[in-house]
Structure 1
């Protein structure tokens, strides 16, 4: 073995050991639980940011630090951590993405496309399998209330229209 190959092998081994140590530190950290729920290991983080750019909205989803009442209430900026849609529902990022009726249009669109493409709509590691689905998820994260909740009366009709539109692109 030549000295160059030997050095390359040693450096590769050091990188692998560092990657394992950093991943173990990430997995066992006392903070960042929501981020780890979305991205269970450092490989998922690397894969995510190889496909998309950092953004303010994505950071809010991954960390739970954003403009939702649970977070704002924690710092006494909001009077309550409850959502306007239900006085018993805590308005956190997961509620806004998965349950809040104010964002049903965006959620139904995202879920319909994910169903069509056979990926789990709220698992980033699964969404990363297709670049288009992770980008749709990030668009969902903007959570703009373009239409009032009563504008969507038949979710199945809406999802069918979305799939037709998506498959034509």
Structure 2
């Protein structure tokens, strides 16, 4: 424009307040976007590649925070990294009970005592045992039969070292979620009764 001898100045104006030139420019931009029949300016690579790159970058940042964080100790037993968690969350319909089990945040004795909703955190099986999610899933004698059934279905021992496989492996996941739901519902209902 300068080469043609024109002068111009830039001004900031509020959008969509009836300024005639701005409204006209907005209408022309929308029309061009709707009616343009040429290839997009970003067609040098597929849009799916861009989305994949952004998702990958986001997951890397999230994983660093997750790995270096001092919280979520229980969740890290199920999901040692964000990639495994992301895969499960994307393809599995988790219920609120599942989330409580995977995070330990729910109506379990250990959690309720921590937030002073309950005087003790003991399990009904033995006053020496804490009513934590780990105790209920791995050790509580009340669920020996259910635990045995889960081990038989999955061909895997239920222990701390296998929790990640039980939740991320598609062949084990359904059986594990059914088992953990049964255990969690029973514990939550018992604690709810005690609170009342």
SS of alignment partner, residue 87 of structure 1: strand
Which runs of 5 or more residues in structure 2 are unaligned? 1-40, 187-196
Structure 1 residue ranges (4+ consecutive) displaced by more than 6 angstroms after TM superposition: none
Hey, what does 2:107 align to over in structure 1?
67
RMSD: 2.5
- Counterpart CA distance in 2 for 1:107 and 1:57 is 18
SS of alignment partner, residue 70 of structure 2: coil
Q: Which structure would you say has the larger Rg?
A: 2
Aligned length: 141
- Counterpart CA distance in 1 for 2:153 and 2:53 is 42
Residues 20-169 of structure 1: pairs in structure 2 closer than 5 A? 20-115=60-155, 119=156, 121-122=158-159, 123-127=162-166, 130-142=169-181, 143=183
Give the TM-score normalised by the residue count of structure 1. Answer: 0.70
SS of alignment partner, residue 5 of structure 1: coil
Give the TM-score normalised by the residue count of structure 2. Answer: 0.62
Cα distance change on mapping 1:20 and 1:86 into 2, 3 Å: same
Cα distance change on mapping 1:102 and 1:17 into 2, 3 Å: same
Deviation at 1:3, TM superposition (A): 5.3
Which runs of 5 or more residues in structure 1 are unaligned? 146-169
